[in-house]
Structure 1
Amino acid sequence: MTLEKARELDTKYPTYRDKFAVPTHKSLGIKESNELLIYFCGNSLGLMPHATKVAVNNELNAWAERGVESHFNHPNKDGTDWVDIDLPLLPLVAPVVGAKENEVAVMGSLTSNLNALLIHFYKPAGKRTKILFEKQAFPSDYYAFLNLVKFYGYDESHLIQLEVKPGNTFLQTSDILEAVDKHADELALVCFPGIQYYTGQLFKIEEITNHVKRLGDIVVGWDLAHAVGNVPLQLHDWNVDFAAWCSYKYLNSGPGAIAGIYVHERYTKDLSKNNYTPRLAGWWGNNSQDRFKMLELFDPINSALSYRQSNPSVIDVVAVRASLEMFKEVGGVETLRKKSLELTQFLQDLLTQSIHYLPQGSTDSRLGFKILTPFNPEERGSQLSILFQPHYEGKDNIMEKVNSYLHEHGIISDERRPDVIRLAPVPLYNTFEEEYIVATTLNAALDKVASNEI
């Protein structure tokens, strides 16, 4: 794996980096240079598309020029009246998650949406009271599950958490299916992440969902925070009941940007004012024809839009739209995935050639690093999680030293204490040559640690 090979691959796969605002050494305060940084942190916050600033400024101008009138009379001939500002996003986001347009909504934030969906879909009855999820779930998910069972008067014993077995770095699909079978009679809900945030493991969503659904009346939901915009999804065809995601990682929509949900159409197509399951509701989920009549009557929309509670932030929505339009322009997630597979594999090959690399499952305790992420390309997204060892506290911590060295050399990665750095090569704006530089710099950092230079 050489620099020449990296440049050869960069001629094969296009980059759209010029469509993004990439921080520089100077803007980050590293040194007085306008040289672009190498940004490998898109799994935490994606870079800003240049189109986002234009889109946001258009709505700020509308606010300035017409105030409240822009809700029904937008000053831009190509703009959308604010009352319907999120509707043009439905045909853009539906292909990203493999859904029908009536199965998606752009709304809320990830955890608030997840909580709203859990309240709606978790229906404990009889022996079926338990929720199956992973031990290493992102804390927000754990807090949501814990408080959900407590809301119904249960305790932590109604949470079934799967742990990674000793000697492994990620959950095996067979372990998940065995746990589903073991607890089938007492499960009310199964909810996993599409991609595990810490290890980068891509769960087999279709296989797990179908296995659960064959066992009876068990609801299956997915937290797609790290999967949406990263890997191809087919939620409708996979028979998923519900899903929630954020849009500020691989969808590049801005910090804390408005999120989204998916709900299979079987739960919404027959909704009416006399036929609906109660949910956390608000006026934006009500029949739009009667919305401004202020009636004391809930008449839910016959789609995932019925789960909306409030009118969405206009600024947030157009930021999401700017990014989704780019996904459409470049051929969608399926096209980007081809480059993503090559990028992640190339980075893996570079890292495993390092003298500091230690194989998965190795008990070797010397200075170096292991890769926590599955080596099977079909079981991961655009991420490799690097575990540094041995573990030291404070200023002697290996990961902290390496991460600081990377930062000083203009490489932005994501540290996860105590010992992990997550590297996320994003196909929209990262290149193979950048990967070569990252791997070379990481090796140099460990060389300096080994010689006590840092």
Structure 2
Amino acid sequence: MDAIDPIRDGRTQFFVPSMKDLGVRDTDSGDADGECVYLCGNSLGLQPRAARALVNEELDKWSKKGVNGHFEGERPWVSIDDNVTPLVAEIVGALPHEVAVMNSLTVNLQLIMTTFYEPTQERHKVLMEAQAFGSDWHAVASHVELNGYDPHESIMSPEMDKDGLHTTAAWLSLLDREGESISVVLIGAVQYLTGQFFDDIPTITQKAHEKGVRVLLDCAHAVGNVPLCLHDWQVDAAIWCHYKYCNAGPGAIGGYFIHEKHTNSDTVAAASFVNGHQRNKGDSKIFQPRRLAGWWGADLSTRFSMRHEFISATGAAGFRLSNPPVLETVALLASLRIHTQYGMQALRGKSLLLTGYLEHLLETMLQSHVHILTPREPNRRGCQLSLAFPSLPPSTPFERLFKTLADKGVVVDHREPNVIRVAPTPLYNSFADVWRFVDILAQALGVQCEQ
């Protein structure tokens, strides 16, 4: 299968850790310099080979130009994010002016909550998944508390089905019953624990908007993984990170989307405010979304004037706070160029095959030993399969199983209490990687398999 993979050379554009790099001694082949089985792009993507050169170019410019680097060279720092914003917009299905590359995931979640969570006594609830990532819950709860409400009363979640998965019907039902009391909906586009891709976001968005509810997405596990159409879906805002499937490095700069209907040029481009108050232009009041403002969100024509009057940049750029970190931004650029080379359609096509192959091997070789938590329908999942082990013998506790995999050069991750997340990533993973993982997992479980 690898021999006929049209994007198999993508792997050559990344550094794949060797067994020796990871300190692995127990190798079946005895080749310590051989590559490990890295199936952890859902947690941290591998380093693009081009990243080091791009970062070094900016370090060299800093050493030779100093502060003048802001306005000189191939990539002036003052507009460094212009190099990546259009590429990111293409991946998330947005217009370029709807996207900003800035901050980090939870900071950006705090910012979209500031803009869209405007609780009243009648409408103060937040609808979000019960198994939301911990940081999302903390961020949302902090906004609820700052506005004088109890998170345990104001945060509500739809029921999951018997398999622990979300259903569109449950979200719609709760919106029908409680919509008049809900301020915002927050959906994880791909659920971090189960790997479920919430593929019916437009239906939920339409129902929420009918009820006067804003829709926000956490796309941390979705960007670069599954097809996204943020603009066409009409969601109000979204946030994500770039260190997973976009391979921008640990702690990488994040992404931010706000639909143009909230920042369209007729109402906002010329808007201004002082100390958070709306300003009038002529006889008409200008619509201005709530925001926490910073100088990098100001229009470039006024940004360096240091006046105490905020003139917003157009679109999502108006929500930036500070200048983006240059080294993080060019590290992201290295990976985005590879994404652009192949395109999301080709990547998604290979992803479906890789994950389908993983599912097939698990079902044919380890069916009685492994339970797949992720939906079986390909359109309801991304790269990741989440595995539980309900019948582990006492002699093989979960912690020992995970350590055995690591000792044999398998890099995956786990979540409490007993879930291993496995994510074959199309940019750099091969079908051989998938086979090696299942073979090693079978050995760790003490199951004899035939190739």
Give the TM-score normalised by structure 2: 0.91
1:412 is matched with 411
Q: Does 1:187 align with 2:182?
A: yes
Q: Does 1:211 align with 2:210?
A: no
Secondary structure in 2 matching 1:47: coil
Taking the aligned partners of 1:343 and 1:177, their CA distance within structure 2 comes to 32
Q: Does 1:327 align with 2:352?
A: no
Taking the aligned partners of 1:155 and 1:18, their CA distance within structure 2 comes to 51
Q: How many Å apart are 1:10 and its aligned residue?
A: 4.3
2:58 is matched with 59
Q: Does 1:258 align with 2:253?
A: yes
Q: Which amino acid aligns with 1:357?
A: Q
Is the 1:48–1:253 Cα contact (8 Å) retained in structure 2? yes
Taking the aligned partners of 1:169 and 1:279, their CA distance within structure 2 comes to 36
1:387 is matched with 388
1:357 is matched with 367
Secondary structure in 1 matching 2:228: coil
Secondary structure in 2 matching 1:243: strand
Q: CA RMSD in A?
A: 1.6
Q: Which amino acid aligns with 1:289?
A: S
2:160 is matched with 164
Q: How many Å apart are 1:63 and its aligned residue?
A: 0.7
Q: Which amino acid aligns with 1:134?
A: E
Taking the aligned partners of 1:110 and 1:24, their CA distance within structure 2 comes to 30
Q: How many Å apart are 1:436 and its aligned residue?
A: 1.1
Q: How many Å apart are 1:391 and its aligned residue?
A: 6.8
CA deviations 1:128-165 (Å, max 9, x no partner) are 11000011000000001111111110002011023424
Q: Does 1:302 align with 2:314?
A: yes
1:280 is matched with 292
2:439 is matched with 440
What fraction of aligned residue pairs are identical, expressed as a percent? 41
Q: Does 1:314 align with 2:326?
A: yes
Q: 1:397 to 1:146 in 2, by over 3 A?
A: farther
Q: Which amino acid aligns with 1:136?
A: Q
1:4-19 paired onto structure 2 within 5 Å: 8=1, 10-15=3-8, 16-19=10-13
Q: Which amino acid aligns with 2:261?
A: R
Count, aligned residues = 423
1:112 is matched with 107
CA deviations 1:217-267 (Å, max 9, x no partner) are 110000000000001111101101000000000000000000010000111
Q: How many Å apart are 1:397 and its aligned residue?
A: 5.8
2:349 is matched with 338
1:5 is matched with none
Gaps of 5+ in 1: 1-7, 359-367, 450-454
Q: 1:177 to 1:9 in 2, by over 3 A?
A: farther
Q: How many Å apart are 1:206 and its aligned residue?
A: 2.1
Q: How many Å apart are 1:126 and its aligned residue?
A: 4.3
Q: How many Å apart are 1:350 and its aligned residue?
A: 0.5
2:402 is matched with 403
2:282 is matched with none
Is the 1:10–1:432 Cα contact (8 Å) retained in structure 2? no
Q: Does 1:25 align with 2:24?
A: no
Secondary structure in 2 matching 1:85: helix
Q: How many Å apart are 1:398 and its aligned residue?
A: 3.1
Give the TM-score normalised by structure 1: 0.90
Q: Which amino acid aligns with 1:376?
A: E
Q: How many Å apart are 1:392 and its aligned residue?
A: 8.4
Q: Which amino acid aligns with 2:297?
A: G
1:51-200 paired onto structure 2 within 5 Å: 51-74=50-73, 79-156=74-151, 157-165=153-161, 167-200=162-195
Q: 1:347 to 1:72 in 2, by over 3 A?
A: same
